[in-house]
Chain A
Amino acid sequence: MGQPITVTVNGEQRSAEVEPRLLLVHFLRETLRLTGTHIGCDTTHCGACTVLLDGTPVKSCTMFAVQADGQQVTTVEALAAGGTLHPIQAAFKQEHGLQCGFCTPGMMLTSVALLEEKKDPTDEDIRWALSGNICRCTGYMNIVKAVKSAAATMNAQAAVPAAAAAVRS
């Protein structure tokens, strides 16, 4: 009854035989023991289970694991590449964008996807992009601040190699 799948999770190929009904979030949490992805509502509303599927935020409680076969999944565990915090992680801490921490992984991943698309998002852009991720603790004020701060950091980081390239040319 198991169906073989291979999913690239955080850059690593992971193969397993799974029940067709197994949700992606359960595949991540139970099969792979990546427990940073949380379950908050089961109905696609809260976004605690948000992961990136080929770079796009998806709610992993509303996808079957078999639907991710052959694709790339990124979870919170991959954000700090090589041990260095991603700017969004650093900004969430610096701006007090989290309290209980339960929504935080999903919030950060949705934010990362937003910042890939929009380098300089407005408050409204951020609030709209995050409107599928519920936070019960922070009232969103500091989350919005954190995303803006991460954008500034990422833009500054991008500007450094660009400036270096300009000097070279």
Chain B
Amino acid sequence: MIRSNRREFVLGASALLAGCDRLAANEDFRKALFSSENFHKWAQRALTQRDALAREFRPDQISPFFRPNGTANPNTDAYKALWRNGFADWRLRVTGLVQRPLSVSLQQLQAMPHREQITRHDCVEGWSAIGKWRGVPLRTLLEGVGLSTRARYLVFRCADRMGGGDSYYESIDMIDAFHPQTILAFALNDRPLRVANGAPLRLRVERQLGYKQAKYLMEIEAVESLSAIGRGNGGYWEDVAGYEWYAGI
């Protein structure tokens, strides 16, 4: 009796687990499961001052080694050519719903007023690293190009291709785009960005997880909707694996 109960329990438990997995494959259930992201985004935004800052740390709190993740080197011919002459030919393009599209060199960016911040980078996997970033506030650039009132998101296009050959891309909305700590960083820990950390330029959106911090930036496009980009979920990992677009969680 006891043995059969135990057997039933084990069978029941594995059936339950299989049931959960099957449930998650159901389209409607999956939608419901994925919709909790909206609750988190709504609740966090409701609790947060629009310009509330991410914690900034002291220099002695910086991680001894800042772990790179994702692509460590884009390794495409185009990228290698840019790297070989110190990114002198690299340009960041700002396109889409803007009044004055822009193409700007690294030297020009470095000459602009910049911001320094020692912040914590939180990977979705669970680890954290603290580093000192220097870069141009995204807001400065956006004020220069004149955003159309229709623009709701910024899409960041990168030089690296991930496993399947798709280009890495990410997107943020205007609340994060105009946040004072949102910068286009060209230096980490007082040195020019290394290739592993996203040379020549990467995004820092300090109130969100690591996969939002797009590296190897090539283009920023202002758009009205994310539905026509990639598979429509607003980012490489969002499209490929189902991560949350709102990565403040």
Do they bind each other?
no
A residues at B contact (CB < 8 Å): none
